[in-house]
Chain A
Amino acid sequence: MTPTSDPLLTPHVLFGFGPMVRGEWALPEALVRALSKKGRSVPSAVQGLLLIDTGASHTCIGAEVARELGLQSRSFVETHGAGGWHSSPEFFARLSFRVPVGVGKFGTIIREHPAASIPALNESFEKWPAPNLLGHQTTWRLIGLIGRDLLRNMVFQFDGPACSFALTAPP
């Protein structure tokens, strides 16, 4: 697939919404093993879009995504925002996403990582006409933000004039 044929790499999406990648949240492998050992079912991965957000200190998961996966919070992230200090539940999950690594080339990055939850993440995304912008991909939803805690170990190159970006990570 060339960059120009990918709806995520059109100027309208790239500059209006930001650099987004396709990906999924799933249960960490150790949790899958623990559930399987008990004969319990394992929820399917939740697929959607992730925004590469250099303005985010933490990688984030939509709170509704964490609920769908049946994840239990294992910690909190202390944040400061317009409403003052507050704690957001943090979930440990398996994140995989497909990234452009060069013109027409893609790779997959997989990490098990803690993620702060954001309530109604997709709701705020949906208020814009995202499905129209993404053409036929009307079922896409925003499922998370890739923040600096993951990006610190990756190389992110954003080329505005070429309407492209690349993200590479060590194995």
Chain B
Amino acid sequence: MSTKLEAEWTAFRQALPGLLATHRDQFVLWRDARPIRFCSSYKEAYEAGLDAFGPDDEYLVAHVAPSEPRAVSIAWQAGVMFDPNQ
């Protein structure tokens, strides 16, 4: 996993409370510990990053929304996803 992207994520998380007041529910293109552009969709922010930085440079795309950790997949994490004996 990219250390630089993790650093960007940490910086974004620190700035999130302030961003929620001004750009709630938007998607941010984020790089060098600051917002580059706010967009209405993930795809738009992703493509703005590609246009600005190319396919290889690292940049973060994040949803400006309250952080609510959730189980990615309840069945997966509970170990009850598959049972071929059914």
Contact = CB atoms under 8 A, between A and B. Distances in A.
A82 B79 CA distance: 11
B22 interface: no
Contacts of B82: 16-18, 124-125, 128
A72 B58 contact: yes
Interface string A70-87: 001111111111100101
B71 A75 contact: no
B53 to A, nearest CB: 10
A16 B85 contact: yes
Interface residues of A, number: 49
Interface in B34-72: 42-43, 46-47, 49-50, 54-56, 58-62, 67-72
A155 interface: no
A112 interface: yes
* Most central of A89, A133, A147 by chain B CB within 10 Å: A89
Contacts, number: 116
Q: Is the contact region of chain A dominated by helix, strand, or loop, or is it mixed?
A: mixed
B86 A15 contact: yes
A114 interface: yes
Q: A-B pairs with the 4 shortest C-beta distances?
A: A56-B73, A55-B74, A80-B69, A57-B70
Given A55-B73, A72-B56, A81-B77, 14 more contacts: A11-B86, A18-B81, A18-B82, A31-B55, A55-B76, A72-B2, A73-B2, A74-B5, A74-B61, A78-B68, A92-B42, A92-B61, A112-B43, A145-B73
Interface of B: 1-2, 5-6, 9, 42-43, 46-47, 49-50, 54-56, 58-62, 67-77, 81-86
Interface of A: 11-12, 15-18, 28, 30-31, 34-35, 38, 40, 51, 53, 55-58, 60, 72-82, 85, 87-89, 92, 112-114, 116, 118, 124-125, 128-130, 133, 145, 147
